[in-house]
Structure formats: structure tokens, C-alpha cells
Amino acid sequence: MFPAHFGYCAARSVEEALALLTKYGDDAKLLAGGHSLIPAMKLRLATPKYLIDLSRVPGLRGVRVDGDSLAIGALTVHADVASSDLVRQHVPGLAEAALLIGDIQVRNRGTIGGSVAHNDPAADFPVILLALNAAFVLVSPSGSRTVAAADFFVDFFTTALAAHEVLTEIRVPLPAPGAGTAYAKLGHPASGYVVVSTGVLIQRQSSGQCASARIAIGGLGGGPRRAAATEAALQGQALTPEVIAAAATRTAEGTEPDGDAYASAAYKRHVAGVYARQAIAEAVRRAVG
Ligand SMILES: Cc1cc2nc3c(=O)[nH]c(=O)nc-3n(C[C@H](O)[C@H](O)[C@H](O)COP(=O)(O)OP(=O)(O)OC[C@H]3O[C@@H](n4cnc5c(N)ncnc54)[C@H](O)[C@@H]3O)c2cc1C
């Protein structure tokens, strides 16, 4: 399958990308790794007249500590997130999510910025980044703004990004001592895309009780969302296997997943609890360690 005809511009800076976006307006689309946009163009689900390639823009790739956050450039590919020593040390749940994406070719080309901007309901990064309370730096011709994950992910395939904005950086708050992060998913056996998944950030008190829990889930309808009933069931409790198991059974409360050829809605709701239990237990283990 071939995409419709399009013009191609390779931006050399964020400023040039913004100028091109302003010039071409709704006729243009930003291109990062191309692993969501190009398939959509081949299926004629997207027919931009111009592609503005960000891949040669310097300074948008890599991971660094900046103040009390990890700053991850939007063009950092999944494989580099997965193998980053900083990510593995501070937020292993994020490295885990990156490593579970697609196959090695997808991980070597796809970017974290492209994944969150696309906000596919079956994507991994939106779920773990919501759990980690990440923020997104959006640059426009008039300046920049930083949007929290809760406001950035609006609905499936929809984010707070405006047409004239470029996402330049993802900021992940460094978890405090006593915190643990983890990610677990049931992936589709062919593509790896999420059937159901859970991202976890647990803050554990030295007494062993749960000081706070952020549990995000994917695959249960709409975009990524918090599992409020599970969070409430953990809050203030001793983080024993029994408490974790009971809390995890509430993961799908309030969700209305669609069934599909691979998994029925009932199966998704059930298995969401199984993966949530795994991820919470692993986050607690890391918080203790
Ligand atoms: C076979 C296959 C299997 C896959 N499996 C998985 C999986 O298991 N889990 C998963 O999460 N994903 C999976 N993916 C998707 C993959 O992770 C994509 O790489 C990712 O979703 C998009 O990133 P990209 O860099 O390729 O973005 P692109 O395809 O280049 O762009 C995607 C969208 O984001 C916009 N965009 C890109 N960068 C920016 C930016 N900096 N600022 C503003 N807008 C921007 C583009 O305009 C476009 O609308 C799979 C893809 C394939 C082809």
C-alpha cells in the first residue's frame, strides 16, 4: 500500500519546524520515527500534504537529570529509554515499559515523543507516564508550556498538543526514597500492542504501609486512566500480598472495555487485575529494596 503524495521538509531546528508548521497549517504533520504515522498514511487514515521531519533536529534526544526530574528528549527512541542507566536507576518501570514495546525494529525507530503525541489507546508509554505523573513540554511560536499527564492525555488518539506546537521534552519527577515503580502488560502476540497494562508508582512508609499509590491502566477503554478503586484500597494499608491481591481485583472498576477478535471485554477486565497485581507487587519489592 502506498501513501498519497506528500511534500517532505527536514527541519534543522525546533524554530524551523515551528515556522514550517505555521506556514503549512493543517496540511502538515510532524514526522518522528514514522512507526505510527507512516502506517496510517499507507492506510490513507492520514493524508498530510507535507511532512516536517524532526529526526535531524539536534538536542531532542537523550536522558538527563534536571533538578528534581528526569528530562527525556522527545526524539529519544524506545531502545534508548529502555537501556538508559538513569531511567533504570530512578524509574525502572519506565525502562520496563519501553522494553516491552513492539519488536527491536520498532524500538530502534519509534520515539517516546511520537508515542505520547499519537496516544494510541494500545500504547505503553502513556500508561506508565500517567502513573509517574510526568509532564510534557510543548513549544509554540509564542513560547512554551508544560502540561501534566492528567491534562495531556485527553482521549484516545487525542492530546493537549495544539496543531502549531512541538513536544520537545518529557519530564518525569524523580521518585522519593521509599518509592517503587513497575509496569506489566498483556501484549498482543502479533504486534506487542497493549491488550491490558498497568503502570505503578508506590510510595512506601518505613512502617511498611502505603503512603500513596498511583496506578494507571491501559486497554480498558478510552486512553490511559487511573485505577481509582485500587489506589484507594492500597492507601494507608500494610502492603502485604493479601492487600495487594484484594486491591488488584478492583482494577477494572468503572471501566467499559470493548471486546475484540483477540479478547472479550470480560477477559480484559479479569486479566487487568492479574497484571495489576504483578506490577504492584514488583513496585513494592523495589520500594523495599
Ligand atoms: C509493528 C509495530 C508494533 C508496535 N508495537 C507497539 C507496542 O507494543 N507498544 C507501543 O506503545 N507502540 C507500538 N508501536 C508504535 C510505536 O511505538 C511508534 O513508534 C510510536 O507509537 C510512534 O512514535 P514515532 O516516533 O514512530 O512517531 P510518528 O509515527 O513519527 O508520529 C506519530 C504522531 O505523533 C506526532 N509527533 C511525533 N513527534 C512529535 C513531536 N515531537 N511533537 C508533536 N507531535 C509529534 C506525529 O505528527 C504523528 O501524528 C508499534 C508500531 C509498529 C509499526
- For the segment 84-95, the average pLDDT, to the nearest whole number, is 98
Distance between CA atoms of 60 and 79, rounded to whole angstroms?
15
Q: How far is the CA of 12 from the centre of ligand 1 (A)?
A: 21
Q: Cβ neighbours of residue 69 under 8 Å, at least 6 residues apart?
A: 135, 171, 172, 173, 174
- Residue type, position 150, single letter: A
User: Sorting pLDDT into bands at 50, 70 and 90, what band is 39?
Assistant: very high
Which residue in 123, 114, 118, 149 sits closest to 134, CA to CA? 149
- Tens of pLDDT, residue by residue over 174-221, are 999 999 999 999 999 888 999 999 999 999 999 999 999 999 999 999
How many Cβ atoms from other residues are within 10 Å of residue 190's Cβ? 7
pLDDT at 284: 98
pLDDT at 289: 72
C-alpha cell at 169: 521534552
pTM for this model (two decimals): 0.97
- Tens of pLDDT, residue by residue over 216-265, are 999 999 889 999 999 999 999 999 999 999 999 999 999 999 998 889 99
pLDDT at 269: 97
In the chain, the percentage of residues whose pLDDT exceeds 70 is: 100
Sign of the CA dihedral with 213 first, then 219, 222, and 223 last: positive
Q: Are 281 and 246 in contact (CB under 8 A)?
A: no
Q: How far is the CA of 33 from the centre of ligand 1 (A)?
A: 6
Distance between CA atoms of 128 and 9, rounded to whole angstroms?
32
When computed from its CA atoms, the radius of gyration of the chain, rounded to whole angstroms, is 19
Q: Is 113 in the pocket of ligand 1 (CB under 6 A)?
A: yes
C-alpha cell at 280: 504492584
pLDDT at 233: 98
Q: Is 101 in the pocket of ligand 1 (CB under 6 A)?
A: yes
- Residue type, position 257, single letter: P
Q: Is 73 in the pocket of ligand 1 (CB under 6 A)?
A: no
pLDDT at 44 over 80: yes
pLDDT at 165 over 90: yes
Distance between CA atoms of 164 and 76, rounded to whole angstroms?
21
Element (H, E) at 87: helix 85-90
In the chain, the percentage of residues whose pLDDT exceeds 90 is: 95
pLDDT at 143: 97
Q: Is 191 in the pocket of ligand 1 (CB under 6 A)?
A: yes
pLDDT at 1 over 80: no
Q: How far is the CA of 123 from the centre of ligand 1 (A)?
A: 9
- Tens of pLDDT, residue by residue over 117-141, are 999 999 999 999 999 999 999 999 9
Q: Are 272 and 196 in contact (CB under 8 A)?
A: yes
Q: Is 115 in the pocket of ligand 1 (CB under 6 A)?
A: yes
User: Sorting pLDDT into bands at 50, 70 and 90, what band is 288?
Assistant: confident
Q: How far is the CA of 37 from the centre of ligand 1 (A)?
A: 7
Cα–Cα distances in Å, from 67 out to 61, 64, 72, 82, 190?
18, 10, 13, 22, 40
- Tens of pLDDT, residue by residue over 64-77, are 999 999 999 999 99
Which residue in 101, 103, 109, 104 sits closest to 129, CA to CA? 101
Mean pLDDT over the full length of the chain? 96
Q: Cβ neighbours of residue 152 under 8 Å, at least 6 residues apart?
A: 116, 135, 136, 159, 160, 161
